[in-house]
Amino acid sequence: MTTPTRFTQAALVGWDRDLGPDRLASETLESILAPVLRRLRLPKGVLAQLTGVNHRHLYPADSPTHGGGLNAARRLLAAFPHLVDKIQIHFSTSVGRDLLEPSVASTVSARLGLGPSVKNLDLGSACLGFIEAMELAAHLIEAQVLEYALITAGENSRPLLENTLNRLLEPELTARQFFRHFASLTLGSGGAATLVGPSRLHPTAPRIKAVVSLADTTANDLCQGDFSGMVTDAAQLLTAGVKLAQATFQLGQEKFGWLGTTFDAIICHQVSRANTDKLCQVLELPEARLLRTYPDFGNMGPVAAPFNFALAWERKLIGPGQKAIIMGIGSGLACSMLELEIPPNP
């Protein structure tokens, strides 16, 4: 399974998305953090100004981390009941998890009532996991060892956000420590599910056409997180991430002739305004073709890319006869870019 790779047999048969019901404004977070903002002499509105994130969504405190992915998967499978028994593998790509074991995939599969012949695997690659799972599913379909794969992801940022707020309110916190935890305040909550299957049986479904990916593991320490919180060197992460994305897109140019104008829709995992602006600038992507979701939803981790594709489809920003690129950068660092082609209406 090396990249770059062209595919001829895999398609996105169906998809669904979910969103945490509780909408939390950056202004509300700043009111909670008012004591530390005053002490560190940080201006009002600093969170939205520096990140571009105005709101993020959360699930209730008692919600399981995988809940959003489960919700999306239930609706997806209800739309394709005739394919449920044909699913052979389920990838859960969530970063957050309530337990170290069992696998999140096994828990979600049990709630969905999937059968004993389904292989359940957790696939982790930070914010890139969902795209990586789409690529793996396409490889398996191309090799004719798989017909259908279910991919899910669910993120509930409430516990990490609450832990971060408590840490930022500690009286001895320095400005450097504040900004090391700053990125945690942008995290949002949601879920996504996608069914990948053979294009020959779904002639109108978006085709997975090509993928390129690269890694820069020397940058693995720039964003690190666990159950208690996340620490980020935002400036270095931005520089290293965009550099890796530039090299990855260049690989797509060399192998597949990609240009920014090749794609009618640009779907990407979004962290903040600065990251998104820089990515568009360096890759020469037409900003009008990018659906910006970070202002209203924040950074939803691996949920972001499939969520954004579903939202773009609903808003008719992508449709029959068009091409899209789905891209992401995950801590580690890893970058993948996947080309989709939607067949024209018959």
Active-site residue identified among 27, 30, 101, 339? 101
Q: Which residue has the tokens 């690129």?
A: 325
Residues comprising the chain, all counted: 346
User: In this structure, are residues 38 and 169 in contact, taking their beta carbons and an 8 Å threshold?
Assistant: no
Task: Average the pLDDT over 63-70 and give the result.
Answer: 95
Residue 162: both structure tokens together: 């609450």
Measured CA to CA, the distance from residue 92 to residue 13 in angstroms comes to 18
Q: Of the candidates 183, 198, 271, 279, which has an alpha carbon nearest to the alpha carbon of residue 230?
A: 183
User: In this structure, are residues 7 and 210 in contact, taking their beta carbons and an 8 Å threshold?
Assistant: yes
| 75-107 per-position pLDDT tens digit | 999 999 999 999 999 999 999 988 889 999 999
Active-site residue identified among 30, 127, 135, 268? 127
Measured CA to CA, the distance from residue 157 to residue 146 in angstroms comes to 33
User: Which CATH number does the domain 201-341 belong to among 3.50.30.50, 3.40.47.10, 1.10.3720.10, 3.40.630.40?
Assistant: 3.40.47.10
pTM of the entire predicted model: 0.96
SS3 33: coil
Q: Could you tell me the pLDDT band of residue 222, with boundaries at 50, 70 and 90?
A: confident
Mean pLDDT over all residues of the chain? Answer: 94
| 110-165 per-position pLDDT tens digit | 999 999 999 999 999 999 999 999 999 999 999 999 999 999 999 999 999 999 99
Please report the pLDDT score of residue 188 as a whole number.
Answer: 96
223 is a catalytic site residue: no
Measured CA to CA, the distance from residue 136 to residue 130 in angstroms comes to 10
Residue ranges per structural domain of the chain: 201-341
Measured CA to CA, the distance from residue 18 to residue 40 in angstroms comes to 37
- Is 2 a residue whose pLDDT tops 70? no
127 is a catalytic site residue: yes
Q: Could you tell me the pLDDT band of residue 1, with boundaries at 50, 70 and 90?
A: low
